[in-house]
Amino acid sequence: MQSVACRGLIRRFLPQKEPVSSWTTSTARLFLAGARTASTAAQPSKQVDVEEKTDVIFTNQHFEIRNLARKLIDSEINPHVDKWEAEGQFPGHAVFKKFGEAGLLGLNRDEAYGGMGLDFSYNIAFAEELGYIDAGGVVSAFGVQTDMATPAFAKYGSHELKKQYLEPAIRGEMVACVGVSEVEAGSDVANTKTHAVRKGGDFIINGHKMWITNGAQADWICLVCNTEADKPKHLSKSHILVPMKSPGVTVAKKISKMGNRSSDTAQIFFEDVKVPQTNLIGEAGMGFIYQMEQFQEERLWCAASALIGMDRIIKSTAEYCAERKAFGSAVLNNQIIYFTLAELQTEVEALRALTYRAVANYTQGDDVTLLASMCKLKAGRLARIVADKCLQFWGGMGYSEEVLISRYFRDTRCLSIAGGTDEIMLHIIAKYMGISPEKAKKK
């Protein structure tokens, strides 16, 4: 009886939403189109829950987009996540198709390719709302589709290539992945060994990629590989779009992971894979630079997508502790409990403010590598602290699979690793501060 009550408690704070079926595809896209021209007046002041609190970067249109995303999450994702977790993969094509039809997979992409032509802050509004998904693996899959596999492609790819691959990805008809990490080149992108040589009008690609999110079901990969053997490491790489069904592409295995179990993560080999040289994204030798630019959006997305998940865990922990009794009193009445939860929520709000500041600067055209690295570092570390401290307050119940805190504890550990480890973020921050040893040597 206790476990049933706890399950109800952890899910009770999720408000019931009207069925998404009332939103047709045309209605959703007409609404989103209106966001481009509607007034940018500030959101009227009102009392809201902490988990709904936002800042000045969002307008009424951002809130409406978030509401649309939430309807789809409640109807198309959360009822199924337990099944997907058990199966080790979510149906990317079916899920992305629903969100693509609503216009949510190309918010800041060019209208010529099915996007909505909005600015990057709308991606962040969407990313933050994804925190209502009850499985981190599905959240990460969305991030790859919208803000990791496609930014450089959308900016530098040819018209023909974007019509063939980007446009279907925005519609949700194709699943995308990005190929950066290798066994000996994770955060160290410059050490990538996968290479492509020119032969006739084609590239011949050999190598491998590791820990590729969406890799087992992707239709194409934005591949970082060496193409300019005579150039320095930072000028030798290019982005090449490779269809996953090309001869010689092998998904060697779907990796079994500690968390994010509903996300398929693959090891992929490339053996004499032939693709046209027209599949080059942008300029040859600029792949490392493109990837560093792309990391700004990826890391801001990571920070934003973590915010509501932390809000939810803190809130559900407070609710559970208010009902759970120990020694004749609610557990929440212990000062160590409510002080800790208050401090955690303060930290989340500080991260939210930093993230919003970085996004505001980025949408104005600033280089936010420093701020994005700070956001990513803080998000990964804070998510681990929130998960650990809150799980402790759940006691034995928190260690069971019957409540979300257990899954959250597993899933959030990846945030300090994927997209650049904490140590890489610290290195970038130190470089921008002018205090790293390599800066000192140059002086």
Q: What positions carry a catalytic annotation? A: 298
Give the CB-side neighbour count of residue 392, counting CA atoms within 13 A.
9
Other residues' Cβ atoms within 10 Å of the Cβ of residue 197 = 12
Cα dihedral across residues 117, 134, 173, 88: positive or negative: positive
Q: Are strands 237-243 and 280-281 parallel, antiparallel or unpaired?
A: antiparallel
Length of the chain: 443
Least Cα distance to 312 among 133, 58, 61, 102 occurs for 133
Amino acid at 174: M
Residue 150 dihedral angles phi and psi, to the nearest 5°:
-115, -20
Residues forming a β-bridge with 240: 223, 280
Greatest pairwise CA separation for the chain in angstroms: 80
The CA distances from residue 422 to 189, 300, 315, 386, in Å, are 15, 14, 26, 17
143-158 burial, b if ≥16 CB within 10 A, otherwise e? bbbbbbbbbbbbebbe
Task: Judge whether 132 and 76 are in contact, CB under 8 Å.
Answer: no
Cα four-point dihedral sign 418, 422, 428, 433? positive
The C-alpha atoms of residue 373 and residue 425 are separated, in whole angstroms, by: 5
Amino acid at 380: G
Phi, psi of 321 (to 5 degrees): -70, -25
Residues 133, 306: Cα–Cα separation, whole Å: 11
Type of residue found at 164 = Q
**Residue written as token pair 């004749």:** 328
* Token code pair at residue 351: 């991260």
Query: For residue 207, what are its two tokens?
Result: 């190598």
